Chains A and B, each alone.
Chain A
Amino acid sequence: MSKRLMFVVAVLVVASLVLAACGGQQATTIKIATQSPLSGGQSSLGVDIKNGAQLALEQLSGPLTEMGFKVELAPYDDQANPDTGVANAKQIVSDPAILCGVGHLNSGVMIPSSEEYHNAGLAFVSPANTNPKVTDRGYLEVNRIVGRDDVQGVVGAEYANSIGVKSVFIIHDKTAYGQGVAEFFKKRAEELGMTVAGFEGTEEKANFDPIITSILAANVDMVYFGGIYDQAGVLFKQAREKGFMGTFMGPDGMDSSTLAEIAGEALVQGGGMVYSSVSGPASVYPGTAKFISDFKAKFNAEPQPFAAQAYDAMAICLKAIENAAKANGNKIPTRQQVAQAIRELKDFPGITGTYTFNNIGDITSAKYFVIKVVSADKTKWGENEVIQTLDIAPPSK
């Protein structure tokens, strides 16, 4: 090894020791993790989950700071991939400063990752996961502030029935979320007497020709896609180009302006496009006006769906840590105490609703929406029309 290289190595070693020593002095740091796709095809939703949480942390960590804690955000990128989510979850639970977490976007990532959180007793508040299994395992650490797919799928099927849809072709993306909601939709659609002409899972992202041929042959009124916008957009566009003139429908995974960017006119031609959601456009929540203007000022963009929910999830984390710390004599609470404190919150006033959790971590009453796309222009996504708003309690076991 040359002398110069030795010198560089020596400097690095010394520097790392000094830095490590600095880190050791801040014993009162509390970290709150976020996990969402920050890169990849679903990043437009995932990044805004992080940004929404970040905004809440900056605005609402005052009480904790006054108690002498330093509050930090620890963002992680799950890439919408279960493997990455679990690997990150292992890192998150091994950092003792992390007391609470906000995430994920995808149920298929949340379900395996939350096994890690559960084992470590670390509470997570989900701003977006709708698969029933997320909370049905009954873990103390797993909470969500949105509705469930076993209700959302039913809401979608009932809406389809109300506009006179007689036959439907169902496609899903084979994830826990997409396939799950598609199955609930299918079950209800069949109960209502609709013909389900096809039920196909696909990971295809480019060439939907074979499926579209089947759709056209079945001559259905509606195509339901259980999945996320980046795949759905391409399918919808190609189906319209090949002459499908019925209605497109999907769950809340459709709710991103990127869908309009990909599919364009296909969303408004023919029967148009509707989606069910557990998160209405920010304008339906009276408390979000300030959030929207603050968000735009800070990040220079319109908040995507679930950004406001992420803000609330973070607010719940902060409040629970504060309550737990107070109960613990203004000292750092344990993860267990924070998880308990979340469940003990009563009528917590968030910007997207008032939240009380039941014994499995679902909120006692969730909002469901049916929304119609009004423009092929992606900048007008926020103007999509809310056709139905329903308040429904989670199904009792």
Chain B
Amino acid sequence: MLAFSLVSGFALSAFVIVLAFLFQNTAVGASVMQRFGVSLVNYTLLNLPQVLMDGLTLGFVYAAIALGYTMVYGVLEFINFAHSEIFAIGAFVGVEVLIALAAYGLIGGQNSLLSAYLWLLVALLAGMLVAGTMAVLVERIAYRPLRGAPRLVPLISAIGVSFFLQDAIRLIESVTTGQFHRIIPAFGNFDNRIPLFTVAGNTVDIQIKSLIVIVAAIIMLVGLNYLVNATKVGKAIRAVAQDRATASLMGIDVNRIISMTFLIGGTLGGAAGVLYALKFTRIDPFVGFFPGLKAFTAAVLGGIGNLTGALLGGIVLGLLETFAGTYMSIFTMGVAGAEYKDIFAFGILILVLIFRPQGLMGENVAQKA
């Protein structure tokens, strides 16, 4: 897995470096020389470490959300499009908790660093709890009654739930706070940067909050892998995923296990939401939409239903997007800038669906009858 992220990082780096050499002596190189006073190759190389770092962090954010998609798909073979709103609910609960804590003077200002981390954990747990509960409720109300229906029906129901939850957050936030975006209060030392290494006088650094995102995503993946592969509940989940009818004959309460799956998926989504808010500061009720779409792309890219695949897909997507965002305007001389970076994310989705529908890590299993 580590090897794979290294390889994709190297591949993308090599690609832009080759491009840089190719365009060095053309108008592109000249425009960079004129604007930044360095040659195109140097410009590309100087930015590269930071771009890799940023891309990796963004990748872990996508991965954290993608785990929820892939978890539910693995069991029900159904894309839970409401997951992006579960994610947004987690973000809102976490931020509201932190805002309340700041109002009571428990975080920020003179409070100790340790307390900042503890309260962040509290906000994280609150977001996870509410998001997990919401996910179970959504399954109970919107999906379970449709379980026998054709596959398209729960999918449409999911999209409906997604709109409903979006506007529910919008309504609640505008009624209670008068505005519907929320801003995470400044506290702790999460904004500080840790220098990692220096290349040619350029220090590459990572923010503490990015580090928290990465560590949390890895913990989530490892924990989930343990849960699914090494516990009794996990065994039951795998049994339900393989064959629902036989699993129930073996004495497994299928409804309970499916609720459990949604609880786990929702909890992870909630945690991802709080981490997203921590990293990007500002949230609004539609905050889940784009990260949700990209995380879904990441899940498909990695092989939907495959937990490690979700992480890999997220990293590839994050790297690709950051590379495109940084270098596109350079190589096109400002014609197509960072605004077009999403083309790559969704272009990849289309290519994967055409040439390798099972994804990078997915096994080519026959469709269940």
Contacts and interface: CB of A to CB of B under 8 A. Distances in A.
Which of the four size classes fits the interface of chain B? Answer: 35 or more
Given A201-B339, A210-B325, A261 B183 contact: yes
A233 interface: yes
A233 B181 CA distance: 13
A334 interface: no
B54 A43 contact: no
Given A201-B339, A214-B326, A217-B47, A241 B191 contact: yes
B35 A39 contact: no
Contact of A211 (B58, B284, B291, B325): B325
Contacts of A205: 282, 284
Contacts of B281: 206, 233-234, 237-238, 262
Interface stretch (B7-15, B133-141, B172-180): B172-180
B341 interface: yes
B46 interface: yes
A207 interface: yes
Contact of B54 (A198, A204, A213, A230): A213
Contacts of B280: 206-207, 234
Given A41-B179, A242-B193, 17 more contacts: A39-B174, A41-B284, A43-B174, A195-B35, A198-B334, A199-B334, A200-B334, A200-B339, A202-B337, A202-B338, A204-B338, A206-B287, A209-B325, A210-B338, A234-B282, A243-B193, A262-B282
Interface in B290-348: 291, 321-322, 324-326, 329-330, 334, 337-339, 341
Interface in A232-278: 233-234, 237-238, 241-243, 258, 261-262, 264-265
Interface in B237-271: none
Contact of B193 (A197, A214, A234, A241): A241
Given A206-B280, A237-B281, A213 B180 contact: no
Main secondary structure of the interface of B (DSSP, over half): helix
Contacts of B326: 210, 213-214
Interface in B185-212: 186, 191, 193, 207
A209 B282 contact: no
A253 to B, nearest CB: 15
B117 interface: no
A188 interface: no
B325 A40 contact: no
Given A233-B282, A241-B193, A261-B183, A211 B334 contact: no
A61 interface: no
Contacts of A211: 325, 338
A262 B183 contact: yes
Contacts of B186: 264-265
Interface in A202-228: 202-207, 209-211, 213-214, 216-219
A99 interface: no
Contacts of A213: 47, 50-51, 54, 326
A44 interface: yes
13 contacts: A41-B284, A198-B334, A204-B339, A206-B282, A206-B291, A209-B54, A209-B325, A210-B321, A210-B338, A214-B330, A216-B50, A217-B43, A264-B186
